[in-house]
Amino acid sequence: MAEREFNMPLLGDGFPELRVQTTHGQMNLPDDFKGKWFVLFSHPADFTPVCTTEFVAFQKRFKEFKKMDCGLVGMSVDQVFSHMKWVEWIKKELGIEIEFPIIAANDAIALKLGMLHPGKGTNTVRAVFIVDPKGIVRLIMYYPQEVGRNMDEVVRAVKALQISDKQGAVPAGWPDNELIKDRIIVSPAKDEKTARERLKDKSLKCFDWWFCHKPLK
């Protein structure tokens, strides 16, 4: 048997162009989200416990994604009919209406995104892609089938990327970093003159010339 090609977009790559069938009709990615952020996440299979908890959790944060002008799209290799029935079950049994589309992928699409990992069977792994308004992949997370994701981290990551694009790098655990809370890290000085001047800048707080931070705007 020929070995299947395993691909995976890297950070800074353009998101692969895909024409897909979803529970909301056909979509073209990333073109349908041109000018806005979007999160694409895959799940191993419909009608499974961990995936159901994830979909409920994503839906409960759907308004937060909308406030950030960020689209949300789910995906697995189940057929669209399965997705539709599962969404119907979630609404009926759990009282949660899933408002975002779910892609019915085939193996070719899943492999193109690196969502079918060798040794993990035919189900897609739990992948998360955060894509910026230019269609560039900015963050990737992969989880094994047996571990559910933390959706608050996905929300935090989108916020952090949007802020870092405009203001600068964010610290660990932002906005609740142990050292500087929600403040923004200033890029380290690249020459001696700038390093000396930075320590005198009253608008900044510095541990040293290479570690200065400023207020979040």
Task: Report the residue count for the chain.
Answer: 217
Listed residue (91, 116, 115, 87) closest to 101, CA to CA = 87
Q: Which of 51, 70, 206, 212 is catalytic?
A: 51
> At 56, which helix (H) or strand (E)?
helix 49-60
Residue 70 designated active-site: no
Return the structure tokens found at 62.
């759907």
Identity at 108, one-letter amino acid code: A
Q: How far apart are CA 113 and CA 29, in angstroms?
A: 12
Q: How far apart are CA 215 and CA 205, in angstroms?
A: 9
Number of Cβ atoms within 10 Å of the Cβ of 37? 19
Catalytic residue positions, numbered: 51
